[in-house]
Chain A
Amino acid sequence: NAGVTQTPKFRILKIGQSMTLQCAQDMNHNYMYWYRQDPGMGLKLIYYSVGAGITDKGEVPNGYNVSRSTTEDFPLRLELAAPSQTSVYFCASSPSWINFPDNEQFFGPGTRLTVL
Chain B
Amino acid sequence: AQKVTQAQTEISVVEKEDVTLDCVYETRDTTYYLFWYKQPPSGELVFLIRRNSFDEQNEISGRYSWNFQKSTSSFNFTITASQVVDSAVYFCALSEAGYGGSQGNLIFGKGTKLSVKP
Contacts and interface: CB of A to CB of B under 8 A. Distances in A.
Interface residues of B, number: 27
A51 B47 CA distance: 23
Interface in A53-73: 54, 56, 58
A8 to B, nearest CB: 14
Interface stretch (B12-20, B63-71, B72-80, B107-115): B107-115
A42, A43, A92 — most chain B CB neighbours (10 Å): A42
Contacts of A56: 101-102
A100 B103 contact: yes
A97 B103 contact: yes
B106 interface: yes
B4 interface: yes
A47 to B, nearest CB: 10
A45 B109 contact: no
B43, B45, B107, B110 — most chain A CB neighbours (10 Å): B45
Contacts of B91: 42-43
Contacts of A48: 101, 105
Nearest to B105: A45
Interface in A23-69: 31, 33, 35, 40-45, 48, 50, 54, 56, 58
Nearest to A38: B110
A107 interface: yes
Contacts of B50: 102-104
A40 B44 contact: no
A33, A56, A105, A112 — most chain B CB neighbours (10 Å): A105
A90 interface: yes
Contacts of B101: 48, 50, 54, 56
A101 B110 contact: no
A9 to B, nearest CB: 10
18 contacts: A33-B105, A33-B106, A40-B111, A42-B108, A42-B111, A43-B106, A44-B108, A48-B105, A54-B101, A88-B43, A90-B45, A101-B33, A101-B95, A101-B96, A101-B104, A102-B33, A102-B50, A107-B44
